[in-house]
Structure 1
Amino acid sequence: MSRPSESPAGLPEPPRQRRGRPAAPARTRGRTPAVVSDRTPGLDRFNSASTAAAEDALLGCFASVRWAQRLAAHRPYPALDALLAAADEAAYDLAPEDLGEALAAEVSPGLHRTAPHSAHLALSAAHAAYECRFGHVFVMCLDSFRPSEHPDQVLAGIRTRLGHDRDEERVVTADEMRRLARGRIIELVTGTLRADEPTGIRAEAWTEGRTEGRF
């Protein structure tokens, strides 16, 4: 896992924080909070990468071209918090067709291959029922759960959301997609492996400086 770099000379160090919780912004005069300085090598590389490389990496986090173009165009970001806030704002502004574009690239959460056959059958049936009702894959951010809890959480989530009407589920799906994008961006620029992402290829490419056709 990559660690935040030292603050540039002359700037205060960010307040210490527990891992997984964003640092509270420092107080300044007036009502505008100071930006937390949590620069990482991955963020520096993201800021300095070509537009095409940045957009490609962002599309791996949330497959909406409009969303990726907007975030890439507003670089550089002074801190990870600023990038995450911009990602949220861009996600909230998406039209239904943009969300549909991103959804089309998603894969529904599944089970490890060693899970019991009966569990695979149950989850497959649940996914099929969901897709039949709403016309797209089921997505759910599992960042706050241990891998062992994922099957139960996914099944419970599908059962609950099958009771939604289409408008209600559209709102829930958009929020889950936004949360997924946040977790993937954090992985991208810090190398922090998320619980529901078994590989960290994108993060390693940025935090360790691998090219893989991007730089």
Structure 2
Amino acid sequence: MQTRATPATPSALDRFNTAPADEAARTLLTCLGSHDWAHRLTAHRPYPDLPALLAAADEAAYDLTPTALTEALSAETQPALPADTYAAAHTALSAAHAAYESRFGHVFVICLDGLKADEALDHVLAGIRSRLSNDPEEERLVASEELRRLARGRLSRLSGARGTARPATTDPHPANHPNPPPP
């Protein structure tokens, strides 16, 4: 007696590895808004496992040109505050974001992976305040590292990796960025 084997459902990474290049690149752009970064990762498929994809993503993020970094920073949005955050905190955070954007010309980016929701506000405010004292070149390096960390966390979540923390940032306008199929 023979039984039919149920075909295995392809993993998110398998789907990413076999997706058309334009679809894979669009998916990657939800993790980091640099076309150069997304095309580089797409061109080097297939990845044998998530650690290999994450290593390639890190390397590509470290190699971002100033133009690609500017593109990635312009695609980011401010992290959303928890709904129960009080008005004074919104005011303080809005003022801090405005000061940061005025000084550096791009949105403040910070990875909040691993933080509890009630720790995020203090972490963001402390981060903005400390980074406002950076010179522009130093801040581009810090922002680049935060983008790399954001991309790494987003890739992990898109791939369905277990043990990943809550999203690092939340777009206050989710309709602007519909969720693509995971890699």
Structure 1 length as normaliser, TM-score? 0.73
Q: CA RMSD in A?
A: 2.1
Offset of 1:105 from its aligned partner? Answer: 0.8
Q: Deviations over 1:145-167 (max 9, x none)?
A: 11110000000000000111111
Deviation at 1:104, TM superposition (A): 0.7
Alpha-carbon distance in structure 2 between the residues aligned to 1:182 and 1:152 = 23
Unaligned runs of 5+ in 2: 1-9
Deviation at 1:90, TM superposition (A): 0.7
> Aligned to 2:159, what secondary structure does the other structure show?
helix
Q: Determine which of 127, 148, 167 is the counterpart of 1:157.
A: 127
> Equivalent residue of 1:57, what SS?
helix
Cα deviation for residue 57 of structure 1 reads 0.1
CA distance in structure 1 between the partners assigned to 2:57 and 2:43 by the alignment: 12
- Matches of 1:106 and 1:55 in 2, distance apart? 17
Question: Which residue of structure 2 aligns with residue 206 of structure 1?
Answer: 182
For 2:160, give the aligned amino acid: T
CA drift of 1:113 comes to 3.1
In the TM superposition, 1:177-196 aligns within 5 A as 177-190=147-160, 194-196=165-167
Judging by fraction of residues, say which structure has more helix: 2
Helix, strand or coil at the partner of 1:206: coil
Work out the CA distance in 1 between the residues paired with 2:36 and 2:101. Answer: 25
Tell me how far apart the structure 1 counterparts of residues 182 and 100 of structure 2 sit (CA, whole Å). 35
Greater RCO structure (CA 8 Å; 6+ sep): 2
Name the counterpart of 1:102.
72
The alpha carbon displacement at 1:189 in A equals 1.0
Does structure 1 residue 124 correspond to structure 2 residue 90? no
Partner of 2:16: 46
Please tell me whether residue 82 in structure 1 is matched to residue 58 in structure 2. Answer: no
Q: Contact 1:62/1:102 (CA < 8 Å) preserved in 2? A: yes
Query: How far did residue 112 of structure 1 move?
Result: 2.2
Cα distance in structure 2, aligned partners of 1:84 and 1:46: 13
Which ranges of structure 1 fall in alignment gaps of 5 or more residues? 1-39, 208-215
After TM superposition, the score normalised by the length of structure 2 is 0.85
